[in-house]
Amino acid sequence: MTNVTRSRPLSPHLQIYKPIPTMVMSIVHRITGGALYFGTILVAWWLIAAASGAAYYDWVNWLFGTLIGKLVLFGYTWALVHHMLGGIRHFIWDLGYGYEKHFATKMAKATLAGSVALTLLLWIVGSLVR
Amino acid sequence: MDMRTPLGKVRGLGSAKEGTDHFWRQRLTAVANLPLLIFFVFFVARYAGAPHAEFVAALANPFVAVIIALVVTSALVHMRIGMQVIIEDYVHAEGAKIALLMLNTFFAIAIGGLCLFAVLKIAFAG
């Protein structure tokens, strides 16, 4: 006898649906959360470097300041801002608001636009104050 | 027909014995993370690339040291239970799932240990 459970039909999964903003932002929320998880290594590295002394700290500072380092940090900033705005969207839902589908779609689009704008603003202001 | 015992109904913790604890903890740390991480983002924007002495002096401030320690603690609790859900969603082999769930906890505690030790060392010893 063939494996009964294996030959059962599967419910449709991701690839069968047309991507819509709320769905894409839900996926991106999880992906940015996962990225932030591993990004904590960078935070720990920075703090440990500072606690280890000036020589090692200067080297880590140089590494973070290289083009690749800056790109990673820029991506990390965006992931953090995006996950934060996504989280605020979840707070709104938790409080019982924002379930109307056109409004939910607007919020999803605003999350992306807001995260990109805020990240750029942060980096522009960050480079100006120095 | 409700098959639950009167005690089970009062406790309201369900079959996993945790009730809404995971959900609530995720929200609690999310609420804490919002102001803490806004502070952290500004702190990073201000001190990224700063000279060693300047960065250490900033972290030696008691308020900054405590807030950074709270940022690390709240964020790590939040991300640990978040990653737990990701693992439970995608890893179905029982052995691998349990191993990854353990690794998840070890990772969060290791990062927490490193960050908190660094902050305290700088705050106490410079």
Amino acid A2: pLDDT: 58
Beta-sheet strands, E only, within B1-126: none
Contact A90 B30 (CB under 8 A): yes
Average per-residue pLDDT for chain B: 94
Q: Is A125 on the interface with B (CB under 8 A)?
A: yes
User: What is the value of pTM for the model shown?
Assistant: 0.90
SS (H, E, C) chain A: CCCCCCCCCCCCCHHHCCCCHHHHHHHHHHHHHHHHHHHHHHHHHHHHHHHHCHHHHHHHHHHHHCHHHHHHHHHHHHHHHHHHHHHHHHHHHHCCCCCCHHHHHHHHHHHHHHHHHHHHHHHHHHHHCC
- Summarised one tens digit per residue, pLDDT across range B80-104 is 999 999 999 999 999 999 999 999 9
Residue A70 near chain B (CB below 8 Å): no
Q: Where are the domains of chain A?
A: 20-128
Domain B24-125, classified CATH 1.20.1300.10, yes or no: yes
Given this model, what pLDDT does residue A6 score?
72
Q: Is the pLDDT of residue B59 over 70?
A: yes
Question: What integer pLDDT is reported at residue B55 of this predicted model?
Answer: 96
pLDDT at B19: 87
| Nearest C-alpha in B relative to A51 | B118
Shortest distance, CA B7 to any CA of chain A (angstroms): 28
Assign residue B95 a region (left: φ > 0; alpha: ψ between -120 and 50; beta: otherwise): alpha
Mean pLDDT for the stretch of residues B41-69: 94
- pLDDT of A128 reads 83
The parts of chain A modelled with pLDDT lower than 70 are 1-4, 130
List pLDDT tens digits, range A68-80: 999 999 999 999 9
Kindly tell me if the per-residue pLDDT of B25 is higher than 60: yes
CA distances from B70 to B63, B81, B115 (A): 11, 17, 11
Mean pLDDT lowest among A43-52, B7-16, B47-56, B112-121:
B7-16
Query: Distance (Å) from the C-alpha of residue A5 to the closest C-alpha of chain B?
Result: 15
Give me the CATH code for the A20-128 domain, please. Answer: 1.20.1300.10
